[in-house]
A = this chain, B = another copy of it.
Amino acid sequence: MSIKVKIINDPVYGFIRFPEPELMRIIDHPWFQRLRRIRQMGFADLVYPGASHSRLAHSLGACHLAGKAMDELNAKGIVTSKEDYLAARMAALLHDIGHGPYSHSSEHTLVGARHEVLSHLIMKRMNQEMGGILERAIGVFDRSYPVRYLHQLVSSQLDVDRMDYLNRDSFYTGVSEGVIGYDRILQMLTVQNNELMVEEKGVQSVEKFIIARRLMYWQVYLHKTVLGSEMLLVNILKRAKEICRNGGKLFATPSLAYFLQQDLTEQDFLKDPGHLDRYCELDDADVTSAIKVWQQHEDSVLAELCKMLVLRRLYKVSFVTDHVEEQLAERKEKARKQRGFSDDEMRYFVFAGKTSNNTYNVKDELIQIAMKNGEVRNITEIEYTLVNQTIAGAVHKNYICYIQ
């Protein structure tokens, strides 16, 4: 993957090419290489042992699809300039650059800033370093670039990000039902009034895409064990920070220690660029190695949580539809009797939460269909469509995590 090697063997798409030297410079950058050490699916490998792929592989894949999409548009006579082509590919390549260790789990506990904000900051810094070659890509990412459909290609409800991760996560988990016919979808893309849309005859492919996404949510992303292990990591990081705040000592790499010892906000990142430098040193290995060591920590809550994660003795998770409070109280009472937890301890071992699955968000930017008769319709407005109000609305589920 040095400057000379422009062809990468991707198990999902076969050979993928990166002829643009600008993209190779980005790929070779330490901040991009960091994504190699951050898993795409966090702890999902506790359920799906094959799911160990990295954010780097996903980012390369999204970039590849962005190129394919624009090849299709060009073949249809929708001319995209060389600059736009590069900008969209670059934005796709970089769209996840701001993710931290174990992605979502560390975002609000350890780091204190959303990954989108960090992605934006990182791109800007790389842009300065590299003499402005990311300018357009940043515009595509933050919508300031006038060619609007490029943003939609990279970030919308039918973007190359989703297309790649559904395919890739299906491939690596072995949940073949998440596989989508991405080549057909790409082929059906079109642009009208500077907006990305799908040709009418592609409606069924879009439906299948939304269904596949829904299926992956319930079967993989919100799988109880996956959910339980994410909550476990969140609680480990919360407890570790608490211990630090109270003056306790913890084994940690210097970069991890930096974030354990202070509570940063997005404002802090904007003000002091030093935070970002430290952030870009962090990856999954910092967290994993620490958790292994913390199994022996003198704080029994932290030690216990870490053992649970390492030894795969995870929370039990129950989805509950009503009487959440009562059921939670019951679980707590039971745990109190059996384990003698104090209230302080209890919040780490028995608690309730809420998760949701937005298969297709009717409040977000909608997937638009270019009808044969010239109209433009939202996918949920098509006659006979599957994607109707029933599934379009978000599904919220309450759950209780507990131990036995």
Q: Could you tell me which A residues sit within 8 Å of B by CB distance?
A: 1, 7-12, 14-15, 28, 30, 33, 36-37, 39, 45-50, 52-54, 56-57, 60, 171-177, 179-181, 183-184, 187, 204-205, 207-208, 211-212, 214-215, 218-219, 251, 253-255, 281, 283-286, 288-290, 292-293, 296, 310-312, 384-386, 388, 390-391, 395
The answer to whether B53 touches A57 (Cβ under 8 A) is: no
The answer to whether A181 touches B177 (Cβ under 8 A) is: yes
Nearest neighbor of A60 in chain B, beta-carbon distance: B49
Of all A-B residue pairs in the complex, the 9 with the closest CB atoms, nearest first, are A11-B174, A289-B289, A285-B288, A9-B174, A11-B50, A285-B289, A177-B181, A52-B52, A49-B57
Least CB distance from A46 to B in Å reads 7
Task: Using known A-B contacts A49-B57, A50-B53, A56-B49, determine if residue A253 contacts B292 with beta carbons closer than 8 Å.
Answer: yes
The answer to whether B286 touches A14 (Cβ under 8 A) is: no
Tell me if A's interface is mostly helix, strand, loop or mixed: helix
Least CB distance from A197 to B in Å reads 19
Could you say which residues of chain B place their CB within 8 Å of the CB of A391?
A: 384, 386
Could you say which residues of chain B place their CB within 8 Å of the CB of A175?
A: 9, 181
Task: Using known A-B contacts A174-B14, A253-B289, A253-B293, determine if residue A1 contacts B46 with beta carbons closer than 8 Å.
Answer: yes
Considering the chains assembled together, what is the distance between the CA atoms of A385 and B172 in angstroms?
27
